[in-house]
Structure 1
Amino acid sequence: MTSPSSVRKYPTGGAGGVKPPAFTDSPSLFARNPSVLIFIACLAAFTLAVTLMSEAFGAGVISTSFVKTLGKTLCLCLVALAMDLIWGYAGILSLGHMAFFALGGYMIGMWLMYARTEEIVVTALSQGGLPATPEEISQGIATQIFGVVGSSDLPLIWSLAHSLPLQLSLALAVPGTLALVFGWLAFRSRVTGVYLSILTQAMTLALALYLFQNDSGLRGNNGLSGLQNLPGLDGTSQDIVSIWFFWASALALGLGYLTLSWVVSGKFGSVIRAIRDDEARVRFLGYPVEVYKLFLFTLTALIAAIAGVLYYPQAGIINPAELAPIASIYLAVWVAIGGRGRLYGAVIGAAFVSLLSSLFTSGRLPDIAFGPVALSWVNWWLVILGLAFVAVTLFAPKGIGGLFDRFQNLRTPDRKGAPLGPDDGSLQEQEAQQ
């Protein structure tokens, strides 16, 4: 017989007097993930502090160039969130997501360059005394933009460059379509693991090599420049424009964090973590694994494109080198250093490495002499980054974000000697409760 003390009792309530767990109120997103409120509060405080210390609205403690650096860093944090969702939660190591990031930048860059060039051409032609015809304006724009590659014709892909709404639509449509087609071909063939990583890297390399050609319609190696000059805002100083983009980047990062936190906290998040840990079992249970993967791949590509749309007007220039496979490898390194499988870890990793990179490559740090040999930070920064990645992989697989586990007393579950599963750092029992 079962003793009375071993019978599980539920709180009374309802008509039957008993309220089983199936009918308990599900906790809210913030109750399940307290880190979301903490992150949003920290981001809001950071945004306010930078605004008050900027040259645009405050004491001028932070220069305009550094405000742009911080804005670009927030954009990189957003694309790191996308990488963490696809890799840290779903186990798909994509080495091509910076291609979607750059494509978003190219799409908005086309409008910025076209509209700015149109203003210059119209102003120049108006000094001739006679009003310029649309054909003359169009020819002048094409010559100004493509004269550097020996052409005076506007390529077909620039047909919508005159319209900001249309180009913004293309900024999502082009990367989204590429991700959808590539993902459908790869996932339906059940390409996984390192083979999928190689395919994404090959896609990125092929796209970069194509854009390096002068006849690609995007000015080849010259890329698109002058993107920091917003059309119609000649009277607005760069310190004001930089803080506007900083605000937009902070807002996009906050919304992205909220959205992805909601995605990984519900049933959908449990399924994608299960796919990461045991894909065959999830497929056996009847879940459409390929559909989940395709949705995640496309969603994260769109997030990366949005980050690129906000990043390159602050950078001022974009060229095919931005699509190089090494850029996507850097992205994976950021997430690994920050701690994959933790959204805040991806943000910490991207911000930490990006700001350190800006410091070490700025040329402001003095070289360190070791006898006849001098350590140049600019030349050795990538070596330091590589060593940091190896050290984190070997000695701190949870990354910087794992330090927060200690503050919260989160420990690996005691399974009495049984393995945790394919990913020992995933804390699967704790994730199952979210």
Structure 2
Amino acid sequence: MIFIACLALFTLTVSVLSEGFGVGLISTSFVKTLGKTLCLCLVALAMDVVWGYCGILSLGHMAFFGIGGYAIGMWLMYARTELIVIQSLAAAPLPPTAQEISQGIATQIFGVVGASEFPPIWAFAHSLPLQLAAVVLVPGLIALAFGWLAFRARVTGVYLSILTQAMTLALALYLFQNDSGLRGNNGLSGLQNLPGQGATPQSTISLWFLWASALALGLGYVFCAWMVSGKFGSVIRAIRDDEARVRFLGYSVEAYKLTVFTVTAIIAAIAGALYYPQAGIINPAEIAPIASIYLAVWVAIGGRGRLYGAVIGAAFVSLLSTWFTGGQAPDTNLGVYTIQWVNWWTVLLGLSFVVVTLLAPKGIGGLFDLIGKGRKP
């Protein structure tokens, strides 16, 4: 309840101070940054459940995040391009046929990669309900198939982490190809322009996505808290601590791990579906293995095994990264060398991960434990 109250207060404050509400103390671009940060907090929750509670160090959950973004991005790009094509053909002497409109849309979208026809993967791009279903079903089925094969073979530890990273790398390399059906390295762009909302300012649209992201994070937090509580939560924590003993007690370890892996993959995909319309573009570089490594770093810095720790870690690192890489952090002159934080931010992040791992394994969330102990009589 404390988390939900803080999230509600945060969302209300940002909304009132935003340009979309009229006060204008918070810019539209920063509202988008905050909305994207909430989405990253949601995927960090998923990572915390699968790693912090179940002990599966997945280095592939940002792949599911990207799949969710691609799924909703296909509909956004199709619907927006359809409006443009219909308007351009409206001046023709004869009304355009459905085939001409479809051909025009395909040419507009895939002309950049030298194609003019829709790949089979775009068969349902015209339907928002079907693409929303794809946000859930596609990553869920991929996670289910991958998890079933890996857990059935009892792959654990670092070997499982390498497998998830290999899966992510394979997906990214495939998407870089122009014949993947998703425009290769160009990715999907213009996602911030909602179809039929051309007259709506971005300041208002950014608020809509902020509210949607906050709602998703709140519901995701409640769901994850329910998931890690009770018998189910006790079993997955036991699997994390001593998998062999849990199996000896008669529990189906593989079924529990598969459930956690699949459910968290779906949560990550939902976060991605909300993130990329705010980012405006998605390309294969977003699914590169380094993104999943960053996700693990966020959770470790925030404190794995604590849902609020994952949220704190993701929000803290994300906002700090925006500050450093956005050129807002002043260069530090050491006399013989000037540190430009745009280039050195990743080094600082890596060092922070090492320090937290060695000296503060409970992360930032561990501070709340100390505060709680200090209040006890």
TM-score range for the pair, normalised by the shorter chain length: over 0.9
Query: 1:80 and 2:44 equivalent?
Result: yes
Higher helix share goes to which structure?
2
| Segment drifting more, 136-145 vs 367-376 | 367-376
Q: Which residue of 2 aligns with 1:233?
A: 197
Counterpart amino acid of 1:287?
Y
Q: Kindly provide the CA deviation profile for residues 263-309 of structure 1, in whole angstroms up to 9, marking residues without a partner as x.
A: 11111000000001111110011000000000000000000000000
Compute the displacement of 1:410 (Å): 7.8
Q: Which residue of 2 aligns with 1:43?
A: 7
User: What is the TM-score normalised by the length of structure 2?
Assistant: 0.98
Query: 1:343 and 2:307 equivalent?
Result: yes
Query: 1:54 and 2:18 equivalent?
Result: yes
Distance in 2 separating the partners of 1:406 and 1:370:
36
| Cα pair 1:149 1:214 within 8 Å, conserved | yes
Query: 1:252 and 2:216 equivalent?
Result: yes
Q: Which residue of 2 aligns with 1:362?
A: 326
Residue of structure 2 aligned with 1:284, choices 248, 260, 263: 248
Alignment of 1:182-261 (within 5 A): 182-261=146-225
Q: Which residue of 2 aligns with 1:332?
A: 296
Distance in 2 separating the partners of 1:92 and 1:171:
23
The percent identity for this pair of structures is: 77
Residue of structure 2 aligned with 1:303, choices 261, 267, 289: 267
Distance in 2 separating the partners of 1:122 and 1:54:
34
Distance in 1 separating the partners of 2:158 and 2:91:
60
Q: Kindly provide the CA deviation profile for residues 304-333 of structure 1, in whole angstroms up to 9, marking residues without a partner as x.
A: 000000000000000000110000000000
Distance in 2 separating the partners of 1:68 and 1:207:
27
Q: Which residue of 1 aligns with 2:113?
A: 149
Distance in 2 separating the partners of 1:193 and 1:290:
14
Distance in 1 separating the partners of 2:61 and 2:332:
36
Q: Which residue of 1 aligns with 2:71?
A: 107
Query: 1:134 and 2:98 equivalent?
Result: yes
Distance in 2 separating the partners of 1:277 and 1:159:
45
Q: Which residue of 2 aligns with 1:170?
A: 134
Counterpart amino acid of 1:239?
S
User: SS in structure 2 opposite 1:409?
Assistant: helix
Counterpart amino acid of 1:176?
G
Compute the displacement of 1:258 (Å): 0.5
Distance in 2 separating the partners of 1:364 and 1:289:
48
Q: Aligned-pair RMSD on alpha carbons?
A: 1.0
Q: Which residue of 2 aligns with 1:431?
A: none
Distance in 1 separating the partners of 2:330 and 2:358:
31
User: SS in structure 1 opposite 2:118?
Assistant: coil
| Cα pair 1:55 1:64 within 8 Å, conserved | yes
Q: Which residue of 2 aligns with 1:121?
A: 85
Compute the displacement of 1:337 (Å): 0.1
| Cα pair 1:80 1:331 within 8 Å, conserved | yes
Q: Kindly provide the CA deviation profile for residues 372-407 of structure 1, in whole angstroms up to 9, marking residues without a partner as x.
A: 421101000000000100110111000000000011
Q: Which residue of 2 aligns with 1:408?
A: 372
User: SS in structure 2 opposite 1:153?
Assistant: coil
Distance change (3 Å), C-alpha of 1:410 and 1:321: farther
User: SS in structure 1 opposite 2:228?
Assistant: helix
| Cα pair 1:51 1:58 within 8 Å, conserved | no
Q: Which runs of 4+ in 1 moved over 3 A?
A: none
Distance in 2 separating the partners of 1:86 and 1:262:
14
Between structure 1 and structure 2, the one with the greater Rg is 1
> RCO greater where, 1 or 2, for CA within 8 Å and sep 6 or more?
2
Q: Which residue of 1 aligns with 2:340?
A: 376
User: SS in structure 2 opposite 1:280?
Assistant: helix
Distance in 1 separating the partners of 2:324 and 2:261:
33
Compute the displacement of 1:96 (Å): 0.2
